[in-house]
Chains A and B, each alone.
Chain A
Amino acid sequence: MSAPLVALGDTEAGSGVRPPARRRRLRQLTTRDRVVLGVMIAIPTLIQAVFVWIPTLASIGLSFAKWDGLALSSIQGNGITNYRFVFAESPQFWPAVLHNVAWLAFLAVIGTPLGLLLAVLLDQKIRGTRIYQTIFFMPVMLSLALIGIIWELVYSQDNGLLNYLLGTSGTSRAVDWFGNSSVNLWAALVAATWRHAGYIMILYLAGLKGVDPSLREAASLDGAGARQTFFRVVFPAMAPTNVIIVVITVIESLRAFDIVYVINHGTNGLELLSVLVVQYLVGETQVIGIGSAFAVVLLVISLVPIVLYLSRTFSTKER
């Protein structure tokens, strides 16, 4: 629907003076136009409904029901029992919330700034910058299985690189990075940061390229140092990128799943909300009502940053 209107806008801007007759003609859509527009609206709406709205509403409905997953007729109301299970009975729920929060804090305080640092460094015209960019971006492209193997090599208690470097390899003091529940969350967070930083780096590199060079020149003419130029001029100029980065960091910490899943299926100190959803919805251990309740809780939490982002986006537009 937006395409013709944008074209109209361009014409207006280009021609300056608008011939009124032409404008009226453009507003009167032919039947064909209307059909085309109708189809263009209907298809995304249908996709949206089938893949987003219906499943979401069904999940919310199922979270108040009990169902063995067999005949549809066997769905029965279950009140708030499933939510009582989630909040009061499941011993994994509150640790999972805590771990998700820790995930967010770690990525926000360490992962994202590290990505920014890498981007700023690689944005200088140093030799081999493309090679470094590729290296740092590599983790984002690697498959789940490969990531598991790489970190197993680093963290393994008996033959791992880390225990070797610490000099504890083969001794009884060797740290079991994945098995010891007091350290495995941190081990997983380091692995997550390794991936996250590369992602953030690419986004900021693109953001830095978009900053008008004349801003920097002006800043240096005014006598600003490199640090001042960056924090006072360049960083604020990247405001649109910064908003996206904040949203991505929040989303990444909410949907964190794969790394803990390859480590130990998200158990023993690595519980996350996403893991609980999978545990109760996928496979043999499925208990649909409870799994849906976990999913709805995750959905509600996810809505907070989404709503904040959207309200910001729309309020900017209105201005």
Chain B
Amino acid sequence: MADTSSGRFIMDRRSIVKGLGLGAVGLMSAPVLAACSTGGSGGGSSSGGGGGSVTFGSNASDPVPKKAYAAFVTAFQKKSKDTVKVNTSDHNSFQDKISNYLQGSPDDAFTWFAGYRMRYYAKKGLVADISDVWSKIGSNFSDGLKKASTGDDGKQYFVPNYNYPWGFFYRKSFWQQNGWAVPGTFDELVTLAKKMKAKGIIPIAFTDKDQWPACGTFDYLNMRINGYQFHVDLCAHKEGWDTPKVQEVFTTWKELLPYYDPSAAGLTWQEGATKLGKKQAGMMLLGSFITQQFTDAAVLNDIDFFPFPSVKVEGTDAVEAPIDGLMLSKKGGQNQAAKDMLAFMGSGAGQEAYYAVDKSNIMTAKDADTSGYSAFTKKLSDVIAGAKNISQFFDRDALPAMASNVLEPAMLNFIKGGAVNLKNIESQAKTLYAQQ
């Protein structure tokens, strides 16, 4: 079954197209017809503090994020006296239709995330430069977050709301019982996995039915072996795939394969998390949304986190922490009230209003009140705060077609057979990136 339970994440974007009953011919018409739809702009705009109106396109269609954004909007309206009209769309279809949305009649502000497509639309001039907003809120964010909000031209286009780190999750009590220590280096990780395997459990609950989870391991190994900048350049295809550097990532990865769940190819991350919760597996590399899967409070309180161990360069400086936030459409860039709303998102008060409802993520503003964080959340937040570089996920940092159609299937084959054809990946990448 298609996994749509974590609609918040980019990887679940593949919306179901009901049948191919339309036929190939019908499908072929989609881009042509869609490209013809250009329309006027809707919604009012005004300038100056108070009394303005903003339209806000939200992809928060799941109940909790939807309520959280409603709380944020209410707090903003109270503070600014502007009125905000929220248009919520289904999460996946919003993501799929973003090109048409931005070219048609978009709202002033809309939800989006940092990464390749943010920079891509900035380059194409479909979103508004908000460097003036950043001159007000800039001091409220770390350098890593600012870099993640910046387009290729050095201007800012994005205001972060929250993020969530990727790392290894495990059960504290289970590890204490067995005398297992958190590995600091890759070799220690392999040694630990060997011990776990000898004990008859699955050392690493790796699950790849949905294909995107493998990107987490690839990104971390790549950043730990070749550095953060190489990750960025590889995602933008300024670096080639058919290189010793990428080969080394897969060679290193191969050492972990014997310690993965043998049925990894057919399992969803939810099933892997369940095995972790039941102590059938030792650890699992995933985003912090893994905690959603532990409904039993006793298990949830027993979950702990450690960053991906260091391998070769830059220690554990880089952390993979996809960032969600807000952007302005081209039209929204003319609307002072919309800019005020984004500035509010960049303040502690704005993020607290959101966090009060949706507590599954980490607030990004420095002045946000974190006294309500649990020790576990605090740990996650410290990892991000201490990071020199924040990467998004491969499918956010790279061309989406490259991630979903090329790298993810190739990685799944690698997980199953231990071999990867980098030459082929490179030739596909060349053709795909040339079309953008």
Give residues in A with beta carbon < 8 Å to B.
51-52, 54-56, 58-59, 62, 66-70, 72, 78, 81-82, 84-85, 89-92, 144, 148-149, 152, 157-158, 176, 178-181, 255, 257-258, 261-265, 267-268, 274, 277-292, 295, 298-299, 302
Q: Would A62 and B211 be within 8 Å (CB), given that A68-B435, A70-B124, A85-B431 are in contact?
A: no
With a 10 A CB-CB cut-off, give which of B32, B427, B435 has the most chain A CB atoms: B435
Indicate if the CB atoms of A62 and B31 lie closer than 8 Å: yes
Q: Would A282 and B20 be within 8 Å (CB), given that A68-B435, A179-B267, A268-B265 are in contact?
A: no
CB distance from B262 to the nearest CB of A (A): 8
Q: Which residues of chain B (25-71) have a CB below 8 Å from chain A?
A: 25-35
In the assembled complex, which residues on chain A have CB atoms less than 8 Å from the CB atom of B98? 284
CB distance from B265 to the nearest CB of A (A): 5
CB distance from B403 to the nearest CB of A (A): 8
Indicate if the CB atoms of B265 and A179 lie closer than 8 Å: yes
CA distance A283 to B21 in the complex (A): 18
- Count B interface residues, CB 8 Å: 58
* 21 A-B residue pairings within 8 Å (CB atoms): A55-B28, A55-B29, A56-B25, A67-B31, A85-B428, A89-B424, A92-B409, A148-B1, A179-B267, A181-B416, A255-B20, A255-B21, A257-B19, A262-B2, A267-B408, A268-B412, A278-B17, A278-B27, A282-B15, A292-B31, A295-B24
CA distance A16 to B212 in the complex (A): 74
In the assembled complex, which residues on chain A have CB atoms less than 8 Å from the CB atom of B400? 284-285
Indicate if the CB atoms of A267 and B24 lie closer than 8 Å: no
Indicate if the CB atoms of B20 and A286 lie closer than 8 Å: no
Given A55-B26, A89-B427, A283-B95, 8 other A-B residues pairs in contact with their CB atoms under 8 A: A62-B32, A70-B124, A81-B434, A152-B1, A255-B21, A278-B20, A290-B431, A292-B31
In the assembled complex, which residues on chain B have CB atoms less than 8 Å from the CB atom of A158? 271
In the assembled complex, which residues on chain A have CB atoms less than 8 Å from the CB atom of B24? 255, 274, 277, 295, 298-299, 302
CB distance from B338 to the nearest CB of A (A): 23
Give residues in B with beta carbon < 8 Å to A.
1-2, 13-21, 23-35, 95-96, 98-99, 103, 117, 124, 126, 209, 211, 263, 265-267, 271, 400-401, 403-405, 408-410, 412, 416, 421, 424, 427-428, 431-432, 434-436
CB within 8 A of B1: which of A149, A176, A255? A149
Q: DSSP class of B's interface residues: helix, strand, loop or mixed?
A: helix
Q: DSSP class of A's interface residues: helix, strand, loop or mixed?
A: helix
Q: Would A67 and B435 be within 8 Å (CB), given that A258-B19, A286-B401 are in contact?
A: yes
CA distance A258 to B405 in the complex (A): 18
Q: Would A283 and B2 be within 8 Å (CB), given that A59-B29, A179-B267, A290-B432 are in contact?
A: no
Which chain A residue lies CB-closest to B19?
A258
Which chain A residue lies CB-closest to B31?
A288
Q: Which 3 A-B pairs have the closest CB atoms?
A: A179-B266, A55-B29, A59-B28
CB distance from B271 to the nearest CB of A (A): 8
CB within 8 A of A274: which of B20, B95, B117, B412? B20
Indicate if the CB atoms of A144 and B21 lie closer than 8 Å: no
In the assembled complex, which residues on chain B have CB atoms less than 8 Å from the CB atom of A69? 31, 34-35, 99
